[in-house]
Structure 1
């Protein structure tokens, strides 16, 4: 019984320490917001440890612990005698759950991050759509249609932020359903990992005034019909058109480096 009581006390102490730790200001969170929003660019140095200690009124050990979070996911690097520098986007572990969460919350004002995500999607999603057109089952098509109908319903009836959020949720579900319809376990799992980054672009483009929502919905319908009709080539092109509309809504030029540009499909 004594041992049990000691274990309980130790567990309680750990929980109390975690509570106190979580209640202090988070340097990692603040720097992540500043970096993802574009305040600090790759190559920039973030404030030094002592400056962060003073700003957040926490000790140096806590600052170092928070900086370590950003180092571990490749966002910053520690340079002895100089401080901490933001690394190139290519070095960021954007598939890490913490990084994708930060990206979703803080990257909306940063067109460079948006462009990186858009470039990746243009490289990948047309091929995913082409594969889905070959392999989609009846159940996959039902999931795709339900997501599409949800988009339409919450587009036409959207009079509140919650309804607009639902429209974006269904939009993300639409794209996730295409990944799953490939029946490839890697693509299917990747749809979960990519969900936050897809949501970032979807939510931003759906509130844009530079693209007609009805036209966007029609592009999604055409993509769905190409998959339903088992037309891989047409699905590839339809996916490109959907993403070109996203680029237009975000005010971004469609990246010229996408793998699908200039590809001749059989």
Structure 2
């Protein structure tokens, strides 16, 4: 019998443009290449190109303008919680400071409140999950002289934050932690590489864990802010005044 040759997968226009857009090559307001130009560049028929462009339209990332082409929409229009979009963000957004700033701003708005709620509601099982994640961070930081160790450190760091969301015992927050996981991982993995004070970052996480364990909501709120301020510093991002609780007086 003759061996059946596997046909190579056709180029993905949606992946090509997603990488270019998320990395900042095309910004909101910019037009991406025209259909005909993409057909010629990738040697694809028009229906295949249109199908791939439709993915980006459905994700809210581009809009088709009759007679003009396809334009990148404003960040606020992107369906950022769509699984495909978050996956693209994880793979391609690392060079884009605007997207990093938007994700960080959201986390500064949300996570201190999540930590405060966790401090009120965490069970013994939640605290075990939090401690296991922290110990994983600590272990892989101490031996973090390889890319694999750094990856494992970041994995445990993400698990630490996910455990706090879960400890709220609110089904929306718990589910949201899964949806947000790729975007949280993006910032954590980058900040863990660029930080000049990894031990101080670990200590900030420990204090957050201890305040949740001691059922100290206000202290947990501030400790979560401190963790995220450290992330902002490591990434060289100005946290600004957008955080909802940044100047909140917690009685």
Q: State how far apart, in whole Å, the 2-side matches of 1:245 and 1:163 are.
A: 21
Equivalent residue in structure 1 for 2:226, among 241, 251, 255: 241
5 Å-filtered alignment, 1:1-266, equals 23-209=9-195, 211-266=196-251
**1-structure distance, mates of 2:122, 2:148:** 31
Q: What is the DSSP-based 3-state SS (H/G/I as helix, E as strand, rest coil) of the residue aligned with 2:194?
A: coil
Ranges of 4+ aligned residues in structure 1 off by more than 3 Å: none
- Runs of 5+ unmatched residues, structure 1: 1-18
Query: Residues of 1 paired with 2:64 and 2:180: CA distance?
Result: 28
Q: Distance in 2 between matches of 1:80 and 1:245?
A: 46
Q: Structure 2 CA distance, aligned partners of 1:55 and 1:256?
A: 45
- Structure 2: distance between partners of 1:179 and 1:50: 46
Q: What TM-score do you get using the length of structure 2 for normalisation? A: 0.96
Q: Give the match's secondary structure for 1:144.
A: helix
- In the TM superposition, residue 195 of structure 1 has moved relative to its aligned partner by 0.3
**Aligned residue in 2 for 1:9:** none
**Greater CA radius of gyration, 1 or 2?**
1
Q: What is the number of equivalent residue pairs in this alignment?
A: 247
Partners of 2:242 and 2:162 in 1: how far apart?
Answer: 24
* Secondary structure at the counterpart of residue 99 of structure 1: helix
Task: Name the SS for the 1:254 alignment partner.
Answer: coil
**What is the distance in 1 between the residues matched to 2:208 and 2:93?**
28
CA RMSD of aligned residues (A): 1.2
Q: CA shift at 1:262, angstroms?
A: 1.4
| SS of equivalent residue, structure 2 residue 243 | coil
> So what's the TM-score if we normalise by structure 1?
0.91
Q: 1:99-147: per-residue Cα shift (whole Å, max 9, x none)?
A: 0000000000000000000000000000000000000000000000000
Q: Secondary structure at the match of 2:110?
A: helix
Task: Note the alpha carbon deviations across 1:53-74, whole angstroms, 9 max, x for none.
Answer: 0111111110000000000010
Deviation at 1:255, TM superposition (A): 2.6
- Which residue of 2 is the match for residue 13 of structure 1? none
The SS at the match of 2:180 is helix
Residue segments in structure 2 that go unaligned for 5+ positions in a row: 1-5
